[in-house]
Chain A
Amino acid sequence: MKAEKPIHQHKRIETIPFDVHLLNELKINKSAVERRAGTLGKRRSVKKDWQAAWLLRAVTCIDLTTLSGDDTAGNVQRLCAKAKNPIRKDILEALGMADQGLTVGAVCVYHNLIGEAKKALGDRPLPIAAVSTGFPAGQIPLKEKLKQIQLSVAAGATEIDIVISRAQVLNGEWKKLYKEVSQMRAACGDAHMKTILATGQLSTLTNIAKASVVAMMAGSDFIKTSTGKESVNATLPVSLVMIRAIREYEEQTGFKVGFKPAGGIRKAKQALQWLILMKEELGDDWLRNDLFRFGASSLLGDIERQLEHFVTGRYSAAYRHPMS
């Protein structure tokens, strides 16, 4: 498998007219959702060869991310180098995966570093995702949000991670939210849009479900949990609610929508839990990076260590793997 670009095996989602009916039917029982989320990781376990393969799959789904005030050309170059060669060659060889051209799913940066990323990726044009629309708080005028998207697309971003106005969710202004997000989708053009709900700030699971559906009606290619900047980021119960919304949406409209949990996913074991969640609740299509991404910066390092342990039988150390 070549991992340079997301391979879209499904028809790209389109914006559909706002349908309030899809929102009103939503029922979310928090305790039951938590129970399911809490037991899922214990109902399935992948070991040995399976674990190695699944972890490699997780690598291909990572949006390798740096979103910091002190990002410079230097660290973005390192990030891109790691994105192109995420796993040490000897480990891949031992796993029989050296010829697969394995890369992460994308690199994710602020607008100002799109150019550096492009340059650094060079002949391996991995998707570049830019966060946009006043990330992370989204507290700027819509006009500015749309302009930011256009600028990032023009600069070479092929994926745009937008944030929604949380106030619209908290005040139940679903139509307004729909309008804003669908305008953003239009502004993205061919670039794929990942809509960040900032679930940690939406108060209830029902709000999260409703916001998910509105984002999908507005044409989001992905719905994404968090910016990574909220105090609570990706959790399994929140992910379960969003995933079920995706499943229901496909049944209602035929469109497949991607999912991206982000923030706080640092361990290989967590990555496996999310993959299990996707496989069980949505199916194998959502185990590929055209429909599933992790927003993460340190996850890759832990996966590498686990893979080395699998190959050598010895527990690994972080310094043995090139940093990003």
Chain B
Amino acid sequence: MKVKEIFETMEYGPAPESADAAMSWLAKHKNKFELFIDGKWVKPQSKKYFESISPSSKNTLAKLAEANAKDVDKAVAAAKKALPKWKEIGCHNRAKYLYALARQIQKHSRLFAVLESIDNGKSIRETRDIDIPLVARHFYHHAGWAQLRDAELPEFREIGVVGQIIPWNFPLLMLAWKIAPAISMGNTVVLKPAEATSLTALLFAEICEQVGLPAGVVNIVTGAGETGAAIVDHPKIDKIAFTGSTEVGKIIRRATAGTGKKLSLELGGKSPFIVFEDADLDSVVEGIVDAIWFNQGQVCCAGSRLLVQESVSEKLYKKIKKRMAKLRIGDSLDKSIDIGAIVDQQQLHTISTLVNQGVKEGNTMYQPDIVCPKDGYFYKPTLFTDVSPSASIAQDEIFGPVLVAMTFRTHKEAVKLANNTRYGLAASIWTENINLALDIAPQVKAGVVWINSTNVFDAAAGFGGYRESGFGREGGKEGLYEYLKPRIEDEFGSSAPKPELAKAGKSNGQIEIGIDRTAKMYIGGKQCRPDGGYSRAVIGASGISIGEVSEGNRKDIRNAVEAAHANKKWGGMTGHSKAQVLYYLAENLSARKREFAARLTSMIGVTDAAAAMEVELSIQRLYTYGALADKYDGNVHHTTHRNVTLAMPEAIGVIGVMCPDESPLLGFISTVIPCITMGNSVIAIPSETAPLSATDFYQILETSDVPGGTINIVTGKKDALSKVLSSHDDVDGIWYFGSKEGSKDVELRAAENMKRTWVNYGKYRDWSNPKHGEGRDFLRKASQIKNIWVPYGE
């Protein structure tokens, strides 16, 4: 009778994927796991174990060891011990291990997929068709990078021991995004999976054993926040890579400030999904399904803010609601479900609290009338319409299957709404007009932009955020730099190189006594007096005052930041036009080189030859960046979809540059010019002890067609002004060349709005050495990569 009934109703039935293999793998381990350290399974010194629960059934799957600080210490020691040999075996041998890992993952792909699905609650369709294939692809791709490291990146070396902390939403995929690039570049790792979803990481550890990966190259320590903190705080870890919440990301930024640990953070998002009136609306609806109902909406780059052009909003809402009624929620191992279980009770609670608040705030909520299982942690797909940007549900990351929709009238308004957020991870743009799509994509503050698509990933393309979505990229060549260190850094000293000083009284660099020239500050293309009305003396080499500069204060910084933002011109100029201006600067500096050299001798007492050389090198440096201005460009990545994936370097925005005290002219040029070469605007704090070369330079700026606000110069106490700049929420980046303490302070303060920082930790370059003082690495630091995915086909 059953067949006869179904023949009439044409309903879907259960289509379960068998859990048997995963269950017997767990049983083989007696449902209990130790820590994977130095290639061995070791009992935790904490003697504690915690439970891993399946969110679909609430059943306990296994007991997992809880690593404490001593366990972490052991893991770090193992990673450290493994490092020399891992370095020594070279590119090809590392490539072979990564390749073997990729193969082994592929061979056991279904076991990984089922285990992930049970552990996390995400649908077997997603783990089987998306997560695990991407994991294997990541290892294959990075096996290639391992092979090519020395050939393609000869100026770089591994960093050392990397601590990695990953979230629960894509457990194995995030492991792959962390481990593959790290070990392919010659580092060794200590990784902590999320406490709710550690099982596939433990299966991965087994795979490492199977392929004979040298002991200690990969160490897996399970545990919760305290274990993570022990990794972050460990003094022998050289780099931390973290994916998770912005809140924890900021804690990590502060905890590592000043330690010299390299850091990459992939954090939260509230990514816009922008629909223009000429979009294929039926495809948009499926895009929305993939954007916000993929992985129950527990996706950092989920398209959670729907921005629709007013003219099509009602039509689209109707289509979305109809589509929502077809979504099926249920057990993660059912092959016919779209939405699985939320990862745990706490997350479920967070989602429902935020939704209730959204209702209370008067937004219109819609949930379809579909079956939602009672056992397990499930939440219905939810749509909010008529939402205003001020609503909490429009601002806060919900990390659940909740879409909030609002409308826009014009293209400009769409961009404004899209950027009206602290985050900047991803964006999706839907239009059949390529002109419009490519116009909007660069205007959206996001590290990834998908045109007419969403949530597509590939190992060959970089992924990562702007603003409080974190910094650093994962995937693509741009992602490799997170796991590399320039070899040149090994040469940096703990004090500035000593300049060649003239014998007292031998210098002819005295400026003739003429009319008093007051060095002002330079803000928004104008010379201006300090807000406070104070000046500070500049003491020359001979020990007497050779002039005065303004004593800048917080209001001067405020004005300079505003002026930098008001300058819309510079960032929009082409590479060629910027090059013309940079060459022009060189030309005008060259015309006045004697005067600039004389200033150097009087300020810092260098020989005439040394002063002339510093000016000459400054001119050369301007030439270098003039040359690079139209040559430092992006890539078109070889991703696995039919599309053009553009990896575009974009300006960071407004950068505060604390110039080095030494090399007053060359140091200023070497730090400020690469920033503007990439289209940033700069607030430069020149050498505190010898600021006059920089203030002289504003006359060069004025005569060289540099738009006002591109370079702003505020003189004064470096570390005091640095504090104001680092704490300014409308400053996007800080470069700091000074003391160890000053470096730490910058990193601490920058955490609040997740500025991109580049500090020297009290290590000194030799600015006169072009290898130390210029080049593409400076431009890399002055930009961030945006990946724009442009599918095509008619």
Contacts and interface: CB of A to CB of B under 8 A. Distances in A.
A30 B793 contact: yes
Given A29-B280, A31-B643, A96-B3, A46 B13 contact: yes
Contacts of B1: 96
A188 B643 CA distance: 45
Interface string B263-294: 00000000000000011111110110000000
Contacts of B361: none
Contact of B286 (A1, A36, A50, A204): A36
B15 A28 contact: no
B673 to A, nearest CB: 41
A253 interface: no
A53 B13 CA distance: 11
B503 interface: no
A105 B717 CA distance: 88
B283 A36 contact: yes
A113 to B, nearest CB: 31
Interface of B is mostly: loop
A248 to B, nearest CB: 8
B11 interface: yes
Interface in A178-236: 204-206
Nearest to A40: B286
Contact of A50 (B4, B11, B452): B11
Contact of B283 (A29, A95, A287): A29
Contacts of A284: 10
B289 to A, nearest CB: 9
B3 A52 contact: yes
A147 interface: no
Contact of B452 (A31, A48, A244): A31
A279 B279 contact: no
B645 to A, nearest CB: 13
Given A30-B794, A31-B791, A49 B3 contact: yes
A101 to B, nearest CB: 13
B332 interface: no
Contacts of A33: 280, 283
Interface string B298-336: 000000000000000000000000000010000000011
Given A284-B10, A287-B10, A49 B432 contact: no
Contacts of B12: 44, 46, 50
A205 B280 CA distance: 12
9 contacts: A30-B793, A31-B642, A31-B793, A32-B287, A33-B280, A34-B793, A57-B7, A96-B4, A97-B4
A204 B7 contact: no
Contacts of B453: 31-32, 35
A241 to B, nearest CB: 9
Contact of B15 (A32, A47, A96, A279): A47
B8 interface: yes
A204 B794 CA distance: 6
User: Which are the 3 A-B pairs with shortest beta-carbon distances?
Assistant: A32-B283, A53-B6, A31-B791
A45 interface: yes
A62 to B, nearest CB: 15
Contact of B6 (A28, A34, A49, A275): A49
Given A27-B280, A29-B452, A31-B452, A45 B335 contact: yes
B786 interface: no
A279 B10 contact: yes
Contact of A43 (B3, B125, B278, B643): B125
Contact of A46 (B15, B125, B326): B15
Contacts of B286: 32, 35-36
Chain B contact patch, size range: 35 or more
Contacts of A44: 12, 15, 335-336
A54 interface: yes
Interface string A81-113: 000000000000001110010000000000000
Contacts of B326: 280
Contacts, number: 105
Contact of B13 (A34, A50, A95, A279): A50
B235 interface: no
A56 B5 CA distance: 12
A27 B279 contact: yes
A121 to B, nearest CB: 23
A39 interface: yes
A49 B2 contact: yes
B14 interface: yes
B41 interface: no
Contacts of A49: 2-3, 6, 13
Interface in A1-59: 1, 27-36, 39, 42-50, 52-54, 56-57
Nearest to B456: A35
B740 to A, nearest CB: 51
B247 interface: no
Question: Could you say which of B10, B15, B338 has the most chain A C-beta atoms within 10 Å of its C-beta?
Answer: B10
B261 to A, nearest CB: 40
* Residue from the set B5, B280, B452 with the largest chain A CB neighbour count within 10 Å: B280
Given A56-B7, A97-B4, A279-B10, A206 B129 contact: no
Given A43-B125, A57-B10, 17 more contacts: A29-B791, A31-B452, A33-B283, A45-B336, A46-B13, A47-B15, A48-B13, A49-B3, A50-B12, A53-B2, A53-B3, A53-B10, A54-B6, A95-B3, A96-B4, A205-B794, A244-B282
B280 A28 contact: yes
B129 A39 contact: yes
A206 to B, nearest CB: 7
A97 B7 contact: yes
Nearest to B335: A45
Contacts of A43: 125, 336, 338
Contacts of A35: 286, 453
Contacts of B6: 49-50, 52-54
A53 B8 CA distance: 8
Nearest to B123: A43
A42 B8 CA distance: 24
Contacts of B534: none
Nearest to A279: B10
B792 interface: yes
Interface in B355-408: none
Contacts of A42: 125, 129
Given A31-B642, A56-B3, A47 B432 contact: no
A57 B280 CA distance: 32
